[in-house]
Structure 1
Amino acid sequence: MTTLMALTLCGLVVGLGLALVVREFWPSHARAGDAIENLAPRNLIFRGSEEAVPTSWSEKMGSWSSQHLSNLPGVTTPKADLDLLGISTTRFYTDKTLWALIGLVFPGLLGLFSVVLDLPLPWPVFPLEGIVLALLLWHVPNQRVRNRARDARRNFAFATISYLRLVAIQRLASTGIVASMERAASVSEAWMFLRIREELRLARYAGLTPWATLDDLSDRLKMPELREVADITRLAGDGAGVTGGLMARAASLRDRMLTVEQVAAAKATTAMQIPTAALIGVLLILLIFPAAVSLAS
């Protein structure tokens, strides 16, 4: 095999791998027939039910990984974060497996290029690098989900403040507490309100109280703000007049969130002082150094 043929083969392998990775992460549109079929009641996945049967090769790979690798020591599944973001466990482990495969294959491709280019590199280095890189990239989806969930919880907390105020406004119109909670959740089409609306709908069908459902949702999503909503609406369900309490709790949550934002802003400002001082020092050196060299010469 000539050098040109080897380089062409390596380029084809790398291009195929990149094409598969891009195809996996590229957003796609579902066909209208499949979307309508998924809306059928038999295809709806309710809370506590099993996930849908995997059909594509990537879903099967993620399903196998979640079944056989999730119980290994050191492997954690952020169930609360995945539930908050609406990501299935199969999809999460599909991403983890793809990242690990990329880390495992990439050093091998480098080793193949080194053989083609006749570089004196020891071959045992590449398998070891592949294993280490695969272990590192295995945790990349965990960090991505953690960061997205942190931002989602902050947005959800601010939405909770608006939701409490909307419930209080409905109560001022002499609306029942259950109807007030459902109408307040129907005001906005934001994903936070859609999540609350879906939980209230499921609670109505299951014969549960809305505050019990929000309490359970708070535990599953690790959202203490929802627990406060559940506590104060539970008082209203017991016959207490809590309209003023709803507004007061919303104001308390708002002040707490603003305090957290101010502390974060202060930390960011403090963290910027060191790079700013280093930049000023470099500029001073650039200004003083030529003059010092001229005087010394």
Structure 2
Amino acid sequence: MLNWQLTLAVGGGGTAGLGVFVLVREYMPAVPALGPALRRLHQPGAGAPAGRPSRTEWLTGASRWLRPPARDLALLDRTPEQYTLSVLLSALAGLVLPGLAGTAMSALGFTPPLVVPVAAGLGLAVLFAAIAHYDVIAKADRARREFRRAVCTYLDLVALQLSAAHGPVQALERAAAVCDGWVYERIREALRIAQLQMHSPWEELRELADRIAVPELSDVGAIMQSSGAEGAQVHETLRQRADSLRDQIRTDNLARAEAVTARLDVPGALLVFVLMGFVLYPFVSRI
């Protein structure tokens, strides 16, 4: 009787330890990989010969089945395989936890029915997978709001560069080189790709905006395209767009704050009812 319990405990502990190791390894800062950057710069054609199958090919098939949020992953600079691995590891952790709890209870002398850990494991697997999925969506939502705020500053910087008699392409590059941060690094990368592939930078900015679902960055490309194609003085247009975008962000923040405040009214009302129950209970008990 102790043999299968020991085997289950060792297997569950090893699986949980492996999951913790993979999660810690994923969240540790890694050395920048040149391979993905080169693959983005030189996309293989449709008729390119297929190479050797990758060791993570099963993750690619699983990611097609799970249908990951492509735009959110592109904004967070993650691959569908990384998303699939995190969801599967979360589901595996939820599946193993009830078995470990059942093993601990069996060691204490209480053996629950087999259906209890199995049903709890399946339920926790679905719950943990959903939590991992919505965690990606929440992080992408926060990153998208940060990207929009950075675009406001970028619009002002581009307008300043144009006012200093720089050309449209040079204004985009110099404005992106002024500030630090992951947002400006993504913009600088898009401008470098446009330079290497002989594309216009506003087209590359529009493609980046569509890929990460930040239409405000596409506005920069559209305004600068009119400046580059027609020679129009667009620095005032850029400033007006930055001001309108700030007003829109301020309105969204107020709406989000009001929604949070409305959700806080529910526990406040419940607390009032609980206090009323404590106050009225002595009088009701005497009737």
Question: What TM-score do you get using the length of structure 2 for normalisation?
Answer: 0.83
2:5/2:103 contact within 8 Å kept: no
Per the alignment, residue 59 of structure 2 pairs with 65
Matched residues in 2 for 1:108 and 1:8: separation?
12
Residues 98 and 47 (structure 1 numbering): CA distance in 2 closer, same or farther, change over 3 Å? farther
2:9/2:103 contact within 8 Å kept: no
For 1:240, which of 200, 216, 232 is the aligned residue? 232
Matched residues in 2 for 1:146 and 1:225: separation?
19
Unaligned runs of 5+ in 2: 45-50
Per the alignment, residue 252 of structure 2 pairs with 260
Per the alignment, residue 199 of structure 1 pairs with 190
Residues 116 and 270 (structure 1 numbering): CA distance in 2 closer, same or farther, change over 3 Å? closer
**Does 2:160 correspond to 1:169?**
yes
Q: State the number of aligned residues.
A: 277
Amino acid in structure 2 at the alignment position of 1:276: G
Per the alignment, residue 48 of structure 2 pairs with none
Per the alignment, residue 262 of structure 2 pairs with 270
Q: Secondary structure at the match of 2:40?
A: coil
Q: Greater CA deviation, 119-128 or 80-89?
A: 119-128
Matched residues in 1 for 2:252 and 2:222: separation?
23
Matched residues in 2 for 1:242 and 1:43: separation?
33
Matched residues in 2 for 1:184 and 1:107: separation?
54
Amino acid in structure 2 at the alignment position of 1:282: V
Bigger relative contact order, structure 1 or 2 (CA pairs below 8 A, ≥6 apart) = 2
Matched residues in 1 for 2:59 and 2:138: separation?
23
Per the alignment, residue 215 of structure 2 pairs with 224
**Does 2:8 correspond to 1:17?**
no
Unaligned runs of 5+ in 1: none
Residues 17 and 100 (structure 1 numbering): CA distance in 2 closer, same or farther, change over 3 Å? same
Q: Greater CA deviation, 7-16 or 240-249?
A: 7-16
Identity over aligned pairs, percent = 34
Matched residues in 2 for 1:42 and 1:113: separation?
45
Question: What TM-score do you get using the length of structure 1 for normalisation?
Answer: 0.80
Residues 17 and 120 (structure 1 numbering): CA distance in 2 closer, same or farther, change over 3 Å? closer
Residues 177 and 43 (structure 1 numbering): CA distance in 2 closer, same or farther, change over 3 Å? closer
Q: Secondary structure at the match of 1:70?
A: helix
Residues 236 and 90 (structure 1 numbering): CA distance in 2 closer, same or farther, change over 3 Å? same
**Does 2:86 correspond to 1:82?**
no
Matched residues in 2 for 1:242 and 1:158: separation?
20
Amino acid in structure 2 at the alignment position of 1:76: R
